[in-house]
Amino acid sequence: MMSLDVTPGLGARLLAGDLGALARAATLVENGDPVGRAVVEGIYGRTGGADVVGVTGPPGAGKSTLIDALIDELRQRGRRVAAILIDPSSPISGGAVLGDRIRMSRWDRDPDVFIRSMAARGHPGGLASTTAGLIHLFDAAGFDPIIVETVGVGQGEIEVAHLAATTLLLQVPGLGDGVQAIKAGILEIGDIVAVNKADLPGAEELVGDLSMMVTGNERPAGWSTPILLTNATTGEGVPAVVDTIEAHRRYLDTSETGRLRRESAARSEVFGLLRQELERESPLHLQNKASLWHELIDDVVERKRTPSAVVATLLGRDGATCR
Ligand SMILES: Nc1nc2c(ncn2[C@@H]2O[C@H](COP(=O)(O)OP(=O)(O)OP(=O)(O)O)[C@@H](O)[C@H]2O)c(=O)[nH]1
Ligand SMILES: [Mg+2]
């Protein structure tokens, strides 16, 4: 294990507003470096104040474009804003990290905007704990809100979604109608819904359909999901989205839901770290033995072992329960 002296005072420099230190710490966290985790632990007591806004929705809905427009609006309101863009590296999107970097490069010289783009895969510490680590670093460095883009597909991404206190769900016309959306239950994850691509046919109808559906939906008391219309390309409707994000934050500050969201974020992070730790500590050193992992799962599928027996094996307690 690396010595913590490698980066003397990194946490302190970050807290003092040193953006170079912030970038360095972010890279360490992304690489799953224990020093990065140590920096996060060191600054953790100074975090928890920032609003974490998740932006989710189907591939190509305009999440990255809208985040860029949100940053613009938030800057006009004098906020220091950070964003984490997670690229699913899926065959559908073809990997948008480069496109996102180009789009966001206009913020490069603004010290009050901090953006990281990263791939969904290949984080030794797991996606949720890596993202949580970045959120804590940005929070400690005084960025608020912190916006996180996620496609919401796959276990890791669902865990990431739990890190957000406020979730903005994007929908677009033409991808199938609102009935489909409610069937999939996706409206339930949005505190705010934005129908993006207002310039496309069917956008206003979709707003109408979705508005009718959320009226009948069970939501936490005190908040009913607003359905807004945006054009992320022109910025139309974006100030209303920011107003609504701020209203949701005030709602969280004064309701039980706020407490529940913070609990859910902490749980997601702790479980993420626990799983990593189990994988690392397992007598089988699973992270280096994907084939053995598959073998164990196959055994469960074929009823050669029970799920509990596999857990016992992973924890090195074979003798007790495995037959
Ligand atoms: N017509 C129209 N096009 C838009 C709008 N917002 C975004 N787009 C376009 O839609 C495409 C996808 O936008 P992105 O912002 O990359 O979408 P995304 O949801 O981040 O995509 P992934 O990260 O790949 O899932 C781009 O070509 C945008 O220019 C809009 O309001 N109207
Ligand atoms: Mg994107």
Measured in angstroms, how far is the CA atom of residue 11 from the centroid of ligand 1? 36
CATH numbers and ranges of domains, the chain? 1-46 (no CATH), 48-272 (3.40.50.300), 282-321 (no CATH)
Measured in angstroms, how far is the CA atom of residue 280 from the centroid of ligand 1? 39
Find out whether the beta carbon of 63 lies less than 6 Å from any atom of ligand 1.
yes
Measured in angstroms, how far is the CA atom of residue 10 from the centroid of ligand 2? 30
**Where is pLDDT greater, at 9 or 214?**
9
Identity of the amino acid at 255: S
Find out whether the beta carbon of 60 lies less than 6 Å from any atom of ligand 1.
yes
**Polymer length in residues for the chain:** 323
- Which DSSP string do the residues of 128-150 spell out, in sequence order? HHHHHHHHHHHHHTT-BSEEEEE
Three-state secondary-structure class, residue 158: helix
Q: How far is the CA of 34 from the CAs of 11, 27, 75, 138, 256, in angstroms?
A: 14, 12, 34, 18, 35
Mutation test of ligand 1: which of 63, 65, 68, 118 has the most ligand atoms closer than 8 Å to its C-beta?
Answer: 65
Lowest average pLDDT, out of 14-28, 31-45, 71-85, 306-320, goes to 306-320
Confidence at 4, pLDDT banded by 50, 70, 90: very low
Mean pLDDT of 148-167: 77
**Can you read off the two tokens belonging to residue 195?**
């129908």
Q: Please write the tens of the pLDDT for every residue from 180-229.
A: 555 556 667 789 999 999 999 999 999 998 888 877 666 667 898 899 99
Q: Please write the tens of the pLDDT for every residue from 49-58.
A: 999 999 988 8
Q: Is the pLDDT assigned to residue 313 strictly greater than 90?
A: no
Lowest average pLDDT, out of 165-169, 246-250, 273-277, goes to 273-277
Confidence at 2, pLDDT banded by 50, 70, 90: very low
The pLDDT of residue 118: 85
**Can you read off the two tokens belonging to residue 85?**
């863009």
The pLDDT of residue 322: 39
Sheet with 52-56, side-by-side order of all strands: 113-119, 81-87, 146-150, 52-56, 166-171, 192-195, 227-229
Find out whether the beta carbon of 150 lies less than 6 Å from any atom of ligand 1.
no
How many of the other CB atoms lie within 10 Å of CB of 59? 14
How many of the other CB atoms lie within 10 Å of CB of 98? 11
Q: Is the pLDDT assigned to residue 268 strictly greater than 50?
A: yes
The pLDDT of residue 188: 72
Q: Whose CA is nearest to atom 10 of ligand 1?
A: 62
The pLDDT of residue 23: 96
The mean pLDDT of the chain is 84
How many of the other CB atoms lie within 10 Å of CB of 229? 18
Q: Whose CA is nearest to atom 21 of ligand 1?
A: 60
Q: Is the pLDDT assigned to residue 75 strictly greater than 70?
A: yes
Find out whether the beta carbon of 90 lies less than 6 Å from any atom of ligand 1.
no
Q: Please write the tens of the pLDDT for every residue from 137-153.
A: 999 999 999 999 976 65
**Where is pLDDT greater, at 5 or 100?**
100
In percent, the amount of the chain with pLDDT more than 90 equals 53
**Where is pLDDT greater, at 6 or 150?**
150
Q: Please write the tens of the pLDDT for every residue from 10-40.
A: 999 999 999 999 999 999 999 989 899 999 9
The pLDDT of residue 1: 45
The pLDDT of residue 115: 95
Q: Whose CA is nearest to atom 7 of ligand 1?
A: 62
Q: What is the CA radius of gyration of the chain?
A: 21
The pLDDT of residue 86: 83
Measured in angstroms, how far is the CA atom of residue 148 from the centroid of ligand 2? 10
Q: Is the pLDDT assigned to residue 176 strictly greater than 90?
A: no
Measured in angstroms, how far is the CA atom of residue 237 from the centroid of ligand 2? 19
The pLDDT of residue 276: 77
